[in-house]
Amino acid sequence: MSGKRLLITGGFGNLGLWFSEYFTKQGYNVYILSKNIKDGFIYKTIQADITDLDELKDKLKYLEFDYLIHTASYNEHFHKDYFRKALIVNSLGTRNLIEVFKDKSLKNFIYLSTFHIYGATDGIIDETTPPQPKNDYALTHLFAEYYLNLSNFPYIIFRLTNSYGSPKSFSTTKWYLVLNDLVKSAYLYRKIVLNSNGEAKRDFIWMGDVCRVVERSFYFKESGIFNLSSKKSYNILYLAKKVQKIYKKRYGEDINIVINREDRTRPLDLIVDNSKLKRVIDFEFSEKFESEIENIFTLLESNYG
């Protein structure tokens, strides 16, 4: 694979850095396109805002890539004007990339969408399930998918579930993600406090598996939409107990898990079916919770001491 030119949008993001590191190790010629260039990384960078079409055209007019992985998106729903920013970044930003690459020799455009476009909380969902987005994040990703459907080059859309893995950088903005938050809480406060009863189930998929599946998708023969899930659901209390176990092993102390006993919510079973994907590639998904919890603790130790 050495020499294949790959552009990763949002390559300094939480999942983006996993892609950047993985594909660099695989011998790809990796470029990161980002609005904000971060110091301390060795990657080739292109500083551009995907919401600015003129800037994108200017920065990319002389560059050709074999593959594009589009991870840049906006999901900070707690920020002011979130709905407007989500529309501009997630939908219009994707439309701008399509405009720039429509006349280039791109072999495949890989888009990381979200399973939230289904709007489902229980039952079995597959790619034929009608989208019923319930929030701006999901809706704006669905708009982006529709833009790709109108494009004239090969594309793969992955509707990704809850990916997990230790941040590649302590400066990540994604400490609120479930596993990151549980480990950080244990490390800083020596306890884990859940706002719920901990019974809520989610499909979790390891970021290392996401990287490997995306690489395989470069060579899919037809454009299409695929659920990218492990097809396994875990509840939050299960993860909290994993963190509790690793904490005891590393630091020799027991920590408490505090649950919200007022929460009487019953867990719903949501299965994000990945059968369509597994008909195209032979792939077994991994469970890496314990090793990633270890890695998150190590990252925290290196920054907090």
Block mean pLDDT (10 aa), the chain, length 305: 86 95 96 85 92 97 96 79 91 97 94 97 95 96 97 95 96 92 97 93 96 97 97 95 98 96 86 97 96 98 89
Helices (H), the chain: 14-25, 53-60, 82-86, 93-101, 136-149, 178-189, 207-217, 236-251, 275-280, 289-304
Closest to 101 measured CA to CA, from 73, 71, 70 = 70
**What pLDDT does residue 75 have?**
77
**What pLDDT does residue 264 have?**
87
- List 45's β-bridge partners, or say none: 32
CATH number at residue 123: 3.40.50.720
Instruction: Establish if 283 belongs to a structural domain.
Output: no
Does one domain contain both 185 and 84? Answer: no
Does one domain contain both 191 and 243? Answer: yes
Instruction: Establish if 197 belongs to a structural domain.
Output: yes
**What pLDDT does residue 2 have?**
60
| pLDDT tens-digit map of 113-167 | 999 999 998 899 999 999 999 999 999 999 999 999 999 899 999 999 999 999 9
Does one domain contain both 101 and 184? Answer: no
Show Cβ contacts of residue 261 under 8 Å, excluding neighbours closer than 6 positions: 197
Instruction: Establish if 190 belongs to a structural domain.
Output: yes
Does one domain contain both 220 and 238? Answer: no
Distance CA 216, CA 191 (A): 40
Mean predicted lDDT score pLDDT of the chain: 94
| pLDDT tens-digit map of 34-43 | 988 877 678 8
**What pLDDT does residue 208 have?**
98
**What pLDDT does residue 198 have?**
92
**What pLDDT does residue 78 have?**
65
DSSP state of 268: P
Does one domain contain both 137 and 212? Answer: yes
Does one domain contain both 104 and 19? Answer: yes
Instruction: Establish if 19 belongs to a structural domain.
Output: yes
Does one domain contain both 123 and 189? Answer: no
Instruction: Establish if 245 belongs to a structural domain.
Output: yes
Q: Tell me the residue range of the domain where 193 lies.
A: 178-202+234-269+289-304
Neighbours of 163 (CB within 10 A): 23
Instruction: Establish if 65 belongs to a structural domain.
Output: yes
Instruction: Establish if 171 belongs to a structural domain.
Output: no
**How many domains does the chain divide into?**
2
| pLDDT tens-digit map of 261-273 | 898 888 788 999 9
- Strand 67-70 vs strand 5-9: parallel, antiparallel, or unpaired? parallel
Closest to 116 measured CA to CA, from 94, 145, 141 = 141
Tokens of 240: 């909290």
CATH number at residue 194: 3.90.25.10
